Amino acid sequence: MKSEKKIANPAGIVGKAIAPVLLFLCIVAASHCDRKSNEIRTGNVRIVEGGESFPLEIPPEFKYPGSEIVFASTFEGSSFWTRPETTASLRTDDSLNAVANYYRQSIEQSGWTIIQSRKNPEAVLFMAESGYKNLLTIIIRPELAQDAERSEEEALTSEQTDQAMAEVSGPTRVKLYLKQSGVD
């Protein structure tokens, strides 16, 4: 009586070994899919509406915690010498004052320098420069514009502006604009 040796089916073994790997890769790929976004590309401009992907060009500390991304765009430049320009629009339910305080602290803690700032009850603006001479402009406003625009005669003192800003509750919109420097 001959003893028969069963030869394993290599395709079956490989299939059993690869199936879990393929399943894992599919799960990872699906988790990185951003089903809520809508991307438009035209020439060297990329616009993404919604989604979770904060632009890589803007340092992550400038994404307001818990905010949702309304849109982001990148102008990739038309030549090697043209530096990218990136914008992002965020929305949060936090107050204007809370958002402004967060950005002032983030700018200072991340090593950027505030080169200009303006504030009034309708908006706060920060212009900051990095050590690499990149320029970041941050505009913070209530989502619904206030109907009461102030004339120059009604200008508020700094203390009155701080108090008025504290009274402006959310939702708040944040617009970020990053112009990268050509200096290396």
Tell me: the pLDDT tens digits for 21-71? 544 444 444 444 444 678 888 878 888 888 888 998 899 999 999 999 999
Task: Outline where DSSP puts E strands in the chain.
Answer: 38-42, 45-49, 68-75, 85-92, 113-120, 123-129, 135-142, 172-179
Output the average pLDDT for the chain. 76
Segments making up each domain of the chain, as ranges = 35-146+158-179
**Confidence at 182, pLDDT banded by 50, 70, 90:** low
Give 98's pLDDT tier (boundaries 50, 70, 90).
very high
- pLDDT (average), residues 138-153: 64
Helix axes 96-109 and 158-167, enclosed angle (nearest 10)? 110
pTM as predicted? 0.67
Residue pair 47/72 in contact (Cβ under 8 Å)? The answer is yes
Asked if residue 153 has pLDDT above 90, the reply is no
- Res 52: pLDDT: 84
Query: How confident is the model at residue 86, as a pLDDT?
Result: 93
- The pLDDT assigned to 12 comes to 54
Mean pLDDT of 142-146: 70
pLDDT score for 180: 83
